[in-house]
Amino acid sequence: MARDDTDVVEIEARVDASPVGLRMTGAELWDLAGRLLQVIDGIIVAFSDSPPTRSDSDLRESCEIVIEAIDSTLWRVYARDPALSDHLRNTFTEVREVPPEVPIPAVHATA
């Protein structure tokens, strides 16, 4: 759902058509996030070298940051850099640390 004329269906189609999802800069991601009202069942990653592929069984192995939007109020965040984890913990009010549950696959199952 978007707060302007952003075509979310078109964005989803571009993500689905690409072997690595939708690549964008941090500024582009910030702009898109500012236009969306909620994100459900989404995965956002940051990587250093090569982008992860849809066959990756656990994005934490190939990415520096993994943000998994479970619903509009619950997000699971993994950051390889402990300083970034500390920054997030100090920036947001409702943060709790949980042990890694299961691998974070590159693609969520669709119903």
Residue labelled with tokens 């913990």: 89
What average pLDDT is seen over the chain?
A: 82
Residue 104, pLDDT above cutoff 80: no
Please give the tally of structural domains in the chain.
2
**32/54 same-domain check:** no
**65/50 same-domain check:** yes
The alpha carbon torsion through 45, 89, 8, 1 (nearest 10 deg) reads 160
Q: Which stretches of 36-92 are DSSP H helices?
A: 82-91
**47/73 same-domain check:** yes
29 has which bridge partners? none
CB atoms within 10 A of CB 90: 9
Cα 67 to Cα 16: distance, rounded to the nearest angstrom: 18
Whether residue 106 is contained in a domain is answered as no
**3/44 same-domain check:** no
**73/90 same-domain check:** yes
The dihedral through the CA atoms of 35, 37, 40, 46 has a sign that is positive
At 76 the three-state DSSP class reads: strand
**70/56 same-domain check:** yes
pLDDT band for position 110 (50/70/90)? very low
Whether residue 107 is contained in a domain is answered as no
Which residue has better confidence, 104 or 64? 64
pTM: 0.74
Whether residue 75 is contained in a domain is answered as yes
Residue 83, pLDDT above cutoff 90: yes
**43/86 same-domain check:** yes
pLDDT mean over 7-24? 86
